[in-house]
Amino acid sequence: MDKTAEHLIILHETDSSNNYAIQLIRDNRAVHGTVIMALCQNAGKGQRGKEWISEPNMNLLASIIVFPNFMAVSEQFYLSKIASLAVREFLMQETTGVSVKWPNDIYCGDNKICGILIENMVQGDSLFASVIGIGLNLNQVEFNRKLPNPVSLKSITGKSYSIIEVLEAVRQIFFKLYGRLEEGFFKEVDENYLAALYRRSEWSTFREGERIFEARVKNIGCYGQLITEDRNGRISEYMFGEIEFVNT
């Protein structure tokens, strides 16, 4: 482990940067704003228990620790919103066609370039601590066949990237947006997130259990639920894991 700055811990290898960050919090050794960066993860975590696969020393694998005690538990999805918007804002400096695929995957065109996993700790009615895990494909150009549609920034631009420099850029944008939440600009974040959504207002194919249907994204609910409208004009709401896009 190298602690290169007050806010940055670099791990040469770990099971998961999120796990390391959570343990720091449990041991009462975590400082607000600390970032854990892993050069290699041997048990990276994705959404809903999925594995996050990444070639060592090639991509951004990092976790940000925050103590958002100004936020109610019901507002926790705002952390997902600003994390997604921070990564998107950085990527838009390098390429085009970047969007947020609900709830918090980042897409370039129809290919996934980044996944985000947020793990929260609750104290009463407020958030005590949160770990924002970011896996951003930077320099890797060959991917595991288990992954359906991966892409990296290097694959798009042809350039190689400094992982630490990209991390610092994303961290700065994230805390700029975090500050907007602290100042109460929740509606601004809502509007920016909705505008950034993948295939927003476009007819898309979805899967709900065994049912396949067409709908379009209309809005995001106050708890982060996806609000859709189907071809018959019916409005439905879905929580995480209840619905998914079907690639066509």
Tokens of 69: 């005690």
pLDDT of residue 184: 97
Q: The CATH number of the domain where 233 resides is what? A: 2.30.30.100
Q: Are residues 120 and 224 in the same domain?
A: no
pLDDT of residue 45: 54
pLDDT of residue 7: 82
pLDDT of residue 148: 80
Q: Are residues 152 and 224 in the same domain?
A: no
Q: Are residues 71 and 102 in the same domain?
A: yes
Q: Are residues 87 and 110 in the same domain?
A: yes
Q: Are residues 124 and 233 in the same domain?
A: no
pTM: 0.92
> If you write DSSP's letter for every residue of the chain in order, what string do you get?
-EEEETTEEEESSBS-HHHHHHHHHHTT---TT-EEEES-BSS-B-GGG-B----TTTSEEEEEEE--TTSBGGGTHHHHHHHHHHHHHHHTTT-S-EEEETTTEEEETTEEEEEEEEEEEEETTEEEEEEEEEEE--S--S--TT-SSB--HHHHH-----HHHHHHHHHHHHHHHHHHHHTT-HHHHHHHHHHHBTTBTS-EEEEETTEEEEEEEEEE-TTS-EEEEETT--EEEE-TTS-EE---
Q: Are residues 192 and 214 in the same domain?
A: no
Q: Are residues 170 and 67 in the same domain?
A: yes
Q: Are residues 163 and 100 in the same domain?
A: yes
CB of 79 within 8 A of CB of 87? no
Tokens of 141: 């150009």
What are the pLDDT tens digits along the chain (248 aa)?
444 456 899 999 998 999 999 999 999 999 999 999 999 887 655 554 555 566 889 999 999 999 999 999 999 999 999 999 999 999 999 999 999 999 999 999 999 999 999 999 999 888 999 999 999 999 999 887 777 899 999 999 999 999 999 999 999 999 999 999 999 999 999 999 999 999 999 999 999 999 999 999 999 999 999 999 999 999 999 999 999 999 75
Q: Are residues 165 and 119 in the same domain?
A: yes
In terms of Cα–Cα distance, which of 91, 90, 116 is closest to 101?
116
pLDDT of residue 55: 80
Q: Are residues 224 and 165 in the same domain?
A: no
Spatial CB neighbours of 7, under 8 Å, sequence gap ≥ 6: 31, 33, 34, 35, 171
Number of domains, the chain: 2
> For residue 221, what are the domain limits?
204-245
Q: Are residues 187 and 229 in the same domain?
A: no
